[in-house]
């Protein structure tokens, strides 16, 4: 019996969204695991940087994971197909590069391409909550 309609348990997290579009080919379980791990890392980074994951962030995250999955599946296909000719291999390598570039553009849109500017001295210069004369704890 499914959860009631208004119950929060009914909602899905969306983490496994790749499989909602199409299933990955048989034998690509490691690709699926790598995509889940990459998505978790990207979500954590977005939460740390922006404080939350908005709908816009979720859409870009989904696109980044799809591009990454496309690159990983092409790499797998390149390994498992030894009979490809040189031109075919070059075309697959070009597509892997395009998928990686697309993923990197998504990461850039999320604002994760730059290290946040932090001032290590700001914590020392911040006013203390301790009463005058007492050292901070």
d(CA 4, CA 122): 50
Burial of residue 77 (number of CB atoms within 10 Å: 0-12, 13-18, 19+):
middle
- Cα dist from 110 to 43, 85, 136, whole Å: 10, 38, 38
Tens-level pLDDT at each residue, the chain (137 residues):
666 666 655 555 555 544 444 578 888 888 988 999 999 999 999 999 998 999 999 999 999 999 999 999 999 999 998 899 999 999 999 999 999 999 999 999 999 888 777 776 776 777 766 666 566 56
The encoded tokens of residue 21 equal 């579009």
- Planar angle of CA 40, 23, 35, nearest 5 degrees: 20
pTM score > 0.75 for this model?
no
């Amino acid at each position: 019996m499914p959860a009631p309609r208004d119950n929060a348990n009914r909602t899905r997290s969306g983490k496994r969204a790749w499989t909602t579009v199409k299933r990955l080919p048989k034998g690509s379980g490691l690709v699926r695991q790598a995509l889940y791990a990459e998505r978790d890392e990207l979500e954590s980074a977005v939460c740390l940087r922006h404080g939350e994951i908005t709908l816009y962030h979720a859409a870009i995250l989904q696109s980044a994971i799809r591009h990454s999955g496309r690159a990983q599946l092409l790499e797998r296909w390149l390994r498992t197909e030894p009979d490809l000719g040189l031109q075919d291999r070059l075309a697959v390598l070009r597509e892997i590069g395009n998928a990686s570039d697309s993923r990197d553009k998504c990461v850039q849109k999320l604002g994760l391409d730059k290290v946040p500017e932090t001032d290590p001295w700001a914590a020392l210069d911040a006013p203390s909550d301790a009463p005058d004369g007492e050292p901070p704890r």
